[in-house]
Amino acid sequence: MPLRSDWSTELCPIRRSLDVLGDGWVLLIVRDVLQGYGRFDQLRDSLGISEAVLSRRLRAMVEAGLLTRVDYVSGGRTRQGYAATEAAAELLPILQQLAVWGERHTATPEAGGHMALIHDRCGQETTQGQVCSACGEVLVVEEMTWDKTWRGRQAKLVPAGVLGDPDPDPA
Amino acid sequence: MPLRSDWSTELCPIRRSLDVLGDGWVLLIVRDVLQGYGRFDQLRDSLGISEAVLSRRLRAMVEAGLLTRVDYVSGGRTRQGYAATEAAAELLPILQQLAVWGERHTATPEAGGHMALIHDRCGQETTQGQVCSACGEVLVVEEMTWDKTWRGRQAKLVPAGVLGDPDPDPA
């Protein structure tokens, strides 16, 4: 995903990760796909991204092993959606920690609310992204619900390989 | 740090975080500053970044509350270096998890080695970025050493506000 110099052969693994993830769109697309919003028009509407840029990012993310294509039927036609790979699902702690950090260190907009990370296994909210601050278990996609209080709805995360139910609500 | 549309007023805290951090350079600069490489020429040499781009990033990161300027004396002159703020130090779990993810999901270059995250408090290596996989304690900058085995040297991380000792070795 060459948006600047190629970091894919760097010795530091942080830098190699950022070669794949360094563009903010990539992590936002993973965010949406984990919430089950893996259809092209859902992603376009949620992200406010041009179709051309979105197409390029999706293709690059499939090549990078972050997304897999999943067929679905809509209006009698078979279409392609996108599901997270295991590698993308393992970005969960990073995404959740970005949510925690963002609430602590960026200004909440007036209309804003709180993004609660609910650990389904224990039923509690965790204030840590990787290990549940309530019960101490490691957090995995299959056991998380994101409660975006400003939307008044909760998104139960979908596992790797799953497209999730169609849902008109953007992420 | 407007590298694309402004995400600073987005309702989703993940997206607001990425407004500040979405450019790969920002997290790499935090990586280096936490290792004590906060002098301009250290950062330039470590990152392989142009002086103009580095200057712009550093200025933006001071404005965003990620870095503070710290005076130091070199060659009889007072110069300015950069130290992490508390907000930047709280990126530790994200940086460490990027290291773990990068080793799992990107190709290690032939000359590469392992980046061991050593938890000084218990003396063990942790395979998690946020909570020590060996002793269960939450990981903080003051208690971490990064052992980049391909360099044959360890970097004890420096706390927020600290510039670290001068060191000719790039990060």
Across all residues in chain B, what is the average pLDDT? Answer: 92
DSSP states along B38-50: -SHHHHHHHHT--
Residue of B5, B9, B14 for testing the chain A interface, max A β-carbons within 10 Å: B14
Question: What pLDDT score does B110 carry?
Answer: 85
What is the extent of the structural domain holding B128? 89-156
| Strands lying side by side in the sheet with B144-148 | B124-126, B115-119, B144-148, B153-156
CATH at residue A57: 1.10.10.10
Strands A144-148 and A115-119: antiparallel
Cβ of A13 and B98 within 8 Å?
Answer: yes
Diameter of chain B measured on Cα atoms? 49
Please report, rounded to a whole number, the percentage of residues in chain B having pLDDT higher than 70: 94
Among the partner-chain residues A8, A97, A106, the one whose CB lies closest to the CB of B8 is A106
Closest chain B residue to the Cα of A131, Cα to Cα? B131
* B25 and B76 housed in the same domain: yes
Please report, rounded to a whole number, the percentage of residues in chain A having pLDDT higher than 70: 94
Distance in angstroms (rounded) separating the CA atoms of residues A7 and A12 = 9
Task: Specify the range with the lowest mean pLDDT, choosing from A115-124, B137-146, B147-156.
Answer: B147-156
Give the pair of three-digit tokens for residue A165.
């139910």
Residue pairs between chains A and B whose CB atoms are closer than 8 Å: 175
Q: Write down the residue that tokens 């971490």 correspond to.
A: B144
Q: Which residues of A touch B1 (CB under 8 A)?
A: none
Question: What pLDDT score does A2 carry?
Answer: 41
Contact status, residue A45 vs residue B130, Cβ threshold 8 Å: no
- Quickly state the pLDDT bin for A110 (edges 50, 70, 90): confident
- Quickly state the pLDDT bin for B167 (edges 50, 70, 90): low
* B80 and B21 housed in the same domain: yes
Tell me the per-residue pLDDT of B50-99, one tens digit each, with 9 for 90 and over. 999 999 999 999 999 999 999 999 889 999 999 999 999 999 999 999 99
Point out the domain boundary residue: A88, A112, A147: A88
Query: Is the pLDDT reported for residue A160 higher than 70?
Result: yes
The crossing angle, in degrees rounded to 10, of helices A13-21 and A24-34 is 70
* B38 and B99 housed in the same domain: no
Average pLDDT over residues A119-145: 97
Q: Is residue B167 one of the residues assigned to a domain?
A: no
* A83 and A97 housed in the same domain: no
Average pLDDT over residues B153-164: 92
Cβ of B131 and A129 within 8 Å?
Answer: no
Closest chain A residue to the Cα of B24, Cα to Cα? A22
Cβ of B104 and A93 within 8 Å?
Answer: no
Q: Is residue B75 one of the residues assigned to a domain?
A: yes
Q: How far is CA A29 from the centre of its chain?
A: 5
Point out the domain boundary residue: A88, A112, A131: A88
How many distinct structural domains can be found in chain A?
A: 2
* B21 and B65 housed in the same domain: yes
Cβ of B106 and A150 within 8 Å?
Answer: no
Point out the domain boundary residue: B66, B86, B106: B86
Query: Is the pLDDT reported for residue B3 higher than 60?
Result: no
Question: What pLDDT score does B4 carry?
Answer: 66
Give the pair of three-digit tokens for residue B29.
């600069």
* A50 and A103 housed in the same domain: no
* B144 and B125 housed in the same domain: yes
* B54 and B112 housed in the same domain: no
* A95 and A84 housed in the same domain: no
Distance in angstroms (rounded) separating the CA atoms of residues B102 and A94 = 12
Query: Is the pLDDT reported for residue B170 higher than 80?
Result: no
Residues 6+ apart with CB under 8 A from A8: A16, A19, A20, B106, B107
Q: Which residues of B touch A148 (CB under 8 A)?
A: 11-12
